[in-house]
Amino acid sequence: MTMILPAHHILPLAHLRRLRLLNGKGRVLVRPGQMVEATDVIAEAPAPGQHLLLDVRKALGVQRVSEAEQLIERQVGERVEKGDILAQTRGLFARILRAPVAGQVVAIYKGQILLETQPQPYRLLAGLPGQIAEVFPERGAIVETHGALIQGVWGNQQNNHGLLTMLAETPDAPLKADLLDLTLRGSVIVGGTCDQAEALKSAAEIPVRGIILGSLSAPLLPLATDLNLPVILLEGIGQIPINRLAFQLLNTNQKREVYLQASWNPALSEKPEIVIPLPAEGKAPEEAVEVAPGRTVRIILPPHAGVIGKIIQPHSTVLLRSGQRIPAAEVELENSQRVTVPLFNLDIIA
Amino acid sequence: MSSSIVEAESILAVDIGSVFTRALLFDVVEERYRMIATAQVRSTIGAPFFDISESIFQALTRLEEITGRHLMEEAHLILPTQDDGSGVDRFVLTFSAGQPLRVVAMGLLEDVSLASARKVLESTYCHIVEQISLNDRRKPEAQIDAILRARPDLVLIAGGTDQGATRSMAKLIDLLVLTLQLLPPESRPDVLYAGNTAITKQVTDRLEPFVRPHVVPNVRPNIDQENLLPAQEKLSEIVYLRRSHQLGGLQSYSTISSVTPQPSLRAFGRMIQFLNKLSGTSQGVLGIDLGSATTGVAAARQEIFSMLALPFGSGYGLAAALERTPLESITRWLPMHVPDEMVRDYLWHRTLYPAAVPQGLEFQAIEQAMLRQTLALVANRISSEEGIYGFEPILVSGYALTQALSPAQALLTLLDGLQPIGVTTFILDPYGLLTALGAIAPLNPTLVVQTLESNALLNLGTVIAPISAARYGTPILKVRYELENGETSTVDVRQGMLVPLPIPNGQRARLHLHPLRPLHLTPTGKDTTRSFRITGGLLGAVIDARGRPLELPSDSARRRDLLKRWMAALGS
């Protein structure tokens, strides 16, 4: 049986098409063929603001809902300023209900008025510089660009971009606070590993625009999650050096503008991404690849986590000590050592 | 237990998990239904496929290779069976993959109606993102904002006993109606009303301009009575409706499915209920399906049945299990020295790779240690006070326990994690058979009965776990067992020991327990019989006299030595 696996991308040059979609319906602000910057808004959707519920019956001292509703002088959708009359009784001693704040009447129900204040529309950004390839009315668009692509395995859901600066001279060089100074302001920095909270805090104080690491020790995950700048891990948690292919690619692109998309959904096998736009045309990456001899792979679990190798021979099943039979591959590592690795423990690099 | 086949039919059952997709083929062999073959492949719900069809195609291709039977034509399942024997007669689908439903629970009282609502929601793949009750002191507008921020897929309304409160319920409904008006129609949640039946009409009249509510009988018809099942059944349907929009391909497979695709836990639970009825005893049957994202628990005892979808597991749910577990609770189960940082980093690293298989003894030991703690979390949810006792048997599903471990490792992990008291038989379901049969049961009960009779489940063995206050090493029990061939053996058991009884797999034996010190087999000490029949499993039977709760020496060297001895006792 042919075995097909999703590819993990570490590509010097590729043609990238990235879908940007709103969660619900909204307004698309771009057109096909339009050039966009990473910070350009592609689409926006109304997002609820704060609400204020005003009880007309209580405010005007009337008993019945129907009576209260007759006294309301506004309709759903109307904008009101602070102090505007919302409802009032008639006669000599009229009672008046005024808007306590500026806002919009968003609902009237059973003698109550619901005002919405400070709505902040949700804005969907391009995230990458490129061209709009396709528009989905009311939902979003596809942005396309050409450049290097490196996928990570964990990200803190933030996005940003900056100049790529290698602080790691070797793939396992730790990121330390004393390597950081104000000259890195605006940079996306690269470290091998990190087990120092101070290093992350210093980076945020400078502030750098983003952090790329091979791995991070587990206790620092909450801190990295809360940082107001993107953090992407290329290998995982612990003390795992950056894999050789990604390290070389980052090294050769020093001082280029690099775009970090650390927003991802692991439940959908999405991955955080690093994109380095380049003035050349690449091919669309293979998204799913056949497990075959010669394929470049990365091992994902210890004892060889982060090590690059080549498939010598795939096996449809191998027998483990537990009695379990699973698909595996014989892999030659870069130090010429040969190991048999379950396919579930391999990323096929493409 | 025997049934004859009136009209034979072949059935293909597919289960879509968050990590694995399983296909099981059932057909008649020598006039009895059998599970013919199974195949397991990676699920393709996420990138780059975003469609379950790809993994179903791969699983069916594998089944075709195993059986030599033609199941597909141009990548489509052949339905029904053709004259040349290709295809199958029926197809059923279950699923646990997908994001949990985001639910806002609304009810009157925190400890009454909301408590019942939570039980309904815990029975399937839900995540309660907001709760609103009379105890909630927030202003109505703050509650509206909270519901909007929660972006629910479902609002479950419970509250008011039948003929009970109506005004307070009306207030809750008004709040919801106001909130629904603020959402565009395509973003509105489903609404499930399970409250006071006396006001159902008023509730639906108010809600219908905005959503068409699902209505079920009151989950709390009176203060002392719960009626959860109708709401649970409806919730399963809602989960399917929502998932059919999330999981690519689910809708198209539902059109060829003989029954509406259902949550895996619902089907698993149905089988636990069925087995409980079949047992005809009052002991009860417990099922634990330790999945990647969720651990499903189904418990049936006499007329009481409950299901729990616990939000932790061995893969996607590992992070949630780690967050609930102090590191020392994990490392105490390691039979070798591994630095704490390494254990912690490895397990968190593992959360990023839910399908990966541990390689190397150290890493396997770390994962088995974590499994014990995950099972301890499960046991705590099943019964935090009395512990697990009396269930006969306990059925266990899920890749991590049934496939990634040897039988001896699985039994020891289950004993250490669940720490059952009394007499319990452990049965493994390595192929996900129970879920498949639960989905098939309404269509073909004969298939279910005959497949269960075919030994497709693995009996690990019966465990007798007595409780004794005796000191470590004190002789507490003499066990005599008679095999069917008349052979008799006697074993002395000391406090703290794990003693295997070499009863051959499948052979019946009578056990006689002769206590040498005061001991009991239930948490309350009210034991009835000390002589009973058991059937030998893969590991024969086991006397677990290590005490409850199981206490490990604080000295690392002694603890590791003890763990190794226990492993050696079971040959794991």
Whether A61 and chain B come into contact, CB under 8 Å, resolves to no
Separation CA A277–CA A261 (nearest Å): 13
What is the distance between the alpha carbons of residues B167 and A290, in angstroms, rounded to a whole number? Answer: 64
Residues of A in contact with B345 (CB under 8 A): 217-218, 237-239
The rounded radius of gyration (Å) of the Cα atoms in chain A is: 28
Phi-psi region of B163 (alpha: psi -120 to 50; beta: other; left: phi over 0): left
Partner-chain contact A271 B293, CB within 8 Å: no
- Nearest chain B residue to A105 by CA distance is B182
Q: Which residues fall within 8 angstroms of residue B331, CB to CB, at 6 or more apart?
A: B338, B340, B343, B369
- A1/B62 Cβ within 8 A: yes
Residue A118, SS3 per DSSP:
coil
- A196 touches B: beta carbon within 8 Å: no
* Cβ of residue A110 closer than 8 Å to a chain B Cβ: yes
- Which of A6, A109, A153 faces B178 most closely, judged by CB atoms? A109
A264 touches chain B (CB under 8 A): no
Confidence (pLDDT) at B6: 56
Minimal CA separation from B16 to chain A, in Å: 14
Half-sphere exposure of B505 (CA within 13 A, CB side): 10
Are the C-beta atoms of residues B5 and B29 closer than 8 Å to each other?
A: no
Residues of chain B in contact with residue A345, where contact means CB-CB under 8 angstroms, are 353, 356-357, 359
Q: How is the beta sheet containing A4-8 ordered, strand by strand?
A: A288-290, A4-8, A346-349, A296-299, A308-319, A325-333, A338-342
3-class SS string, B30-67: CCEEEEEEEEEEECCCCCCCCCHHHHHHHHHHHHHHHH
Burial class (CB in 10 A: 0-12, 13-18, 19+), A41: middle
* Residue A344 DSSP symbol: G
Cβ pair B510, B532 in contact under 8 A? yes
Quick check: B42 and A24 CB within 8 A? no
What is the rounded (10 degree) CA torsion for B529, B533, B537, B541? 40
* Contact (Cβ atoms closer than 8 angstroms) between residue A348 and residue A329: no
Q: In what order do the strands lie in the sheet with A27-28?
A: A27-28, A41-45, A122-125
Residues of A in contact with B61 (CB under 8 A): 1
What pLDDT score does B166 carry?
Answer: 85
CA dist A231 to A91, A152, A272, A286, Å? 65, 10, 9, 26
| Spatial contact of A198 and A178, defined as CB atoms under 8 Å apart | no
Distance in angstroms (rounded) separating the CA atoms of residues B492 and B495: 10
Q: Which residue from B293, B347, B357 is facing A342, i.e. has the nearest CB?
A: B357
Chain A neighbors of B144, CB-CB under 8 A: 51, 53, 114
Residues B250 and B52 sit within 8 Å (Cβ to Cβ): yes
Per-residue pLDDT at A322: 67
Q: Give chain A positions within 8 Å (CB) of B50.
A: 268
pLDDT tens, residue by residue, B212-224:
999 999 999 988 8
Contact B375, B424 (CB under 8 A): no
How close is the nearest chain B Cα to the Cα of A47, in Å?
9
Contacts of A110 in chain B (CB under 8 A): 174
Q: Residue B501 in contact with residue B479, Cβ under 8 Å? A: yes
**A285 to chain B: closest CA residue:** B48
Note whether A301 contacts B359, CB cutoff 8 Å.
yes
The residues, ordered by sequence, that sit 6+ positions from A140 with a Cβ below 8 Å of its Cβ are A19, A20, A21, A22, A28, A42, A43, A124
Q: What is the pTM of this model?
A: 0.93
Model confidence pLDDT, tens digit, residues A289-322 = 999 999 999 999 999 999 999 999 999 888 877 6
Per-residue model confidence as pLDDT tens for chain B (572 residues): 444 555 779 999 999 999 999 999 999 998 999 999 999 999 999 989 999 999 999 999 999 999 999 999 998 999 999 999 999 999 999 999 999 999 999 999 888 999 999 999 999 999 999 999 988 999 999 999 999 999 999 999 998 888 787 888 999 999 999 999 999 898 999 999 999 999 999 999 999 999 999 999 999 998 888 999 999 999 999 999 999 988 999 999 999 999 999 999 999 999 999 999 988 888 899 999 999 999 999 999 988 899 999 999 999 999 999 999 999 999 999 999 999 999 999 999 999 999 999 988 999 999 999 999 999 999 999 986 677 888 999 999 999 999 889 999 999 999 999 999 999 999 999 999 999 999 999 999 999 999 999 889 999 999 999 999 999 999 999 999 999 989 999 999 999 999 999 999 999 999 999 999 988 887 766 666 688 899 999 999 999 999 999 999 999 999 999 999 999 999 87
The number of helices, as runs of H, and strands, as runs of E, in chain A is 5, 27
* Partner B contacted by A154 (CB < 8 A): yes
- The answer to whether the Cβ–Cβ distance between A114 and B404 falls below 8 Å is no
The Cα B29–Cα B450 span in angstroms is: 11
Q: For an interface test with A, give the residue of B54, B144, B206, B347 to mutate (most A CBs within 10 A).
A: B144
List the single best residue of A269, A300, A315 to mutate versus B (max B Cβ within 10 A): A269
Cα torsion A43, A46, A48, A52: sign? positive
Secondary structure letter of residue A283 according to DSSP: B
For the stretch A182-222, pLDDT in tens is 999 999 999 999 999 999 999 999 999 999 999 999 999 99
End-to-end CA distance of chain A: 21
What pLDDT score does B438 carry? 97
Q: How far apart are CA B172 and CA B169, in angstroms?
A: 5
Would strands A308-319 and A296-299 be described as parallel, antiparallel, or unpaired? antiparallel
Confidence (pLDDT) at B282: 83
* Stated length of chain A: 350
| Minimal-distance CA residue of chain A relative to B406 | A322
What is the Cα–Cα distance from B172 to B175, expressed in whole angstroms? 5
Chain B residue numbers with beta carbons less than 8 Å from the beta carbon of A219 are 344
Amino acid identity for residue B94 in this structure: T
| Residue A320: how many other CB atoms lie within 10 Å | 18
Output the tens digit of pLDDT for each of chain A's 350 residues: 678 889 999 999 999 999 999 988 999 999 999 999 999 999 999 888 899 999 999 999 998 989 999 999 999 999 999 999 999 998 878 899 999 999 999 999 989 999 999 788 999 999 999 999 999 999 999 999 999 999 999 999 999 999 999 999 999 999 999 999 999 999 999 999 999 999 999 999 999 999 999 999 999 999 999 999 999 999 999 999 999 999 999 999 999 999 999 999 888 889 999 999 999 999 999 999 999 999 999 999 999 999 999 999 999 888 877 677 889 999 999 999 999 999 999 999 99
DSSP character string of B115-155: HHHHHHHHTSSEEEEEEE-TT--S-HHHHHHHHHHH--SEE
Average pLDDT, chain B: 93
Query: CB-hemisphere CA count at 13 Å for A11?
Result: 25
Contact A322 B46 (CB under 8 A): no
Q: A residues 303-342 near B, CB within 8 Å?
A: 303, 305, 320-324, 326, 341-342
Closest residue of chain B to A51, computed from CA coordinates: B141
Contacts for A163 with CB less than 8 Å, ≥ 6 apart: A186, A187, A188, A255, A256, A257, A258
ipTM of the complex: 0.93
Q: Test B403 with A269 for CB contact under 8 angstroms.
A: no
pLDDT at B572: 76
Q: Do A267 and B293 touch (CB under 8 A)?
A: yes
Of all residues in chain A, what percent carry a pLDDT higher than 90?
A: 88
A267 and B99 within 8 Å at the Cβ level: the answer is yes
CA distance A237 to chain B (A): 5
DSSP assignment of B252-265, as one string? Answer: HHHTT-SS--EEHH
B352·A154 Cβ contact <8 A: yes
Q: Which residues of A touch B355 (CB under 8 A)?
A: 344
How far apart are alpha carbons B103 and B442 in whole angstroms? 29
Cα–Cα dist B22/B60, whole Å:
9
- A4–B contact, CB cutoff 8 A: yes
Taking CB atoms and an 8 Å cutoff, what residues of chain A touch B42? 5, 344
**Rounded CA separation B165/B189 (Å):** 25
With an 8 Å Cβ cutoff, are A301 and B184 in contact?
Answer: no
pLDDT of the residue at B224: 87
Q: Dihedral sign, CA of A220, B355, A262, A11?
A: positive
